Amino acid sequence: MNQGTAEIRVPATAESTVYIVGGTGGVGLEVARRFVAAGTQRIGLVGRNRERGEKAADHIRSLAPGVWSLFVAGDVNDPAEAGRVTDELRAGLGSADILINSTTSSFTPRLFHDTAPGDVPDMLLQQALGPINMCRAVLPDMRAQRGGAIVNVASDAAKVPTPGESVLGAAMAAIVSFTKTLAMEAKRDGVRVNAVTPSLIRDTGAYDRVMAEPFSAKLFEKAARAASLGVAEPIDLAELIIFLCSPQARRITGQAVSPNGGISAG
């Protein structure tokens, strides 16, 4: 083992401080539950809705003795807000060992010629900017402590051209490209950065939204039929994310993994 690798800090999952952006529901909340099951006791949740966030934090604290879950409200699409959120989490829990960015926009798939030109900037920025801002906010602490793990949740649309997701796919591709490039930059400081790129995820708000509209429902019903191993559920994403953040994945960085049940490959 070379000296540089020997200096890298990789804490056990149970000893890690975790920040989860989008942790108040869906995949993010399931990730928080799985971290508690793995013994983690310091978990920060970030979201826009204060009532929902406080309820989620109460739920996480109720899962095991000694767990402290802190909710901070903020819109991390604003870099100043991302910095403030990180400062509050640091003050309450300590510096992040693990950052999970699991945010979604309110937009649903639509063909490009049916997309209002004025919607395009928000479709790109609401999806891609938050993870970038949060990575920038936590990176100085991770570099200083010589270690950290970041997982950005994107989607298969980053890899597979999907009708109706021309703009959303561009935003997802931006997240994946950013993730891989940051992984190459941050590895010298012991920081690992990976992406998870699911397709459909049952039992989430995003799933309900796309299935409520005729065009996107038809699109994703076809995708679901291709998922011979089953359509992913939040727990499938959560287990993969826990692994990618664990010491068992200490050699894995710069990857984009698609838990999609066989909908696509690549």
Q: In degrees, to the nearest 5, what angle opens at C-alpha 254 toward C-alphas 159 and 15?
A: 125
Give the number of other CB atoms < 10 A from CB of residue 125.
Answer: 15
DSSP string, 179-194: HHHHHHHHGGGTEEEE
Q: Is residue 253 part of a domain?
A: yes
The answer to whether the beta carbons of residues 258 and 237 sit under 8 Å apart is no
* Residue 195 included in any domain: yes
Within-domain flag for 4: no
Asked whether residue 2 is domain-assigned, the answer is no
Distance (Å, whole) CA 186 – CA 193:
8
Q: Is residue 141 part of a domain?
A: yes
Number of domains the chain contains: 1
Residue span of the structural domain in which 69 resides: 13-257
For residue 102 the two structure tokens come to 């699991």
Q: How far apart are CA 79 and CA 56, in angstroms?
A: 24
Exposure string over 197-221, b if 16+ CB within 10 A, otherwise e: bbbbbeebebbeebbeeeebeebbe
Residue 4 scores a pLDDT above 60: no
* CATH number for the domain that contains residue 248: 3.40.50.720
Q: Is the pLDDT of residue 233 over 70?
A: yes
pTM of the model: 0.93
Tell me if 112 is assigned to some domain: yes
Residue 128 within any structural domain of the chain: yes
Are the C-beta atoms of 237 and 31 separated by less than 8 Å? yes
Separation between Cα atoms, residue 219 and residue 223, nearest integer Å: 7
Asked whether residue 265 is domain-assigned, the answer is no
Could you tell me what percent of the chain has a pLDDT over 90? 73
pLDDT in tens, 29-66: 999 999 999 999 999 999 999 999 999 999 999 999 99
pLDDT in tens, 93-109: 999 999 999 987 777 88
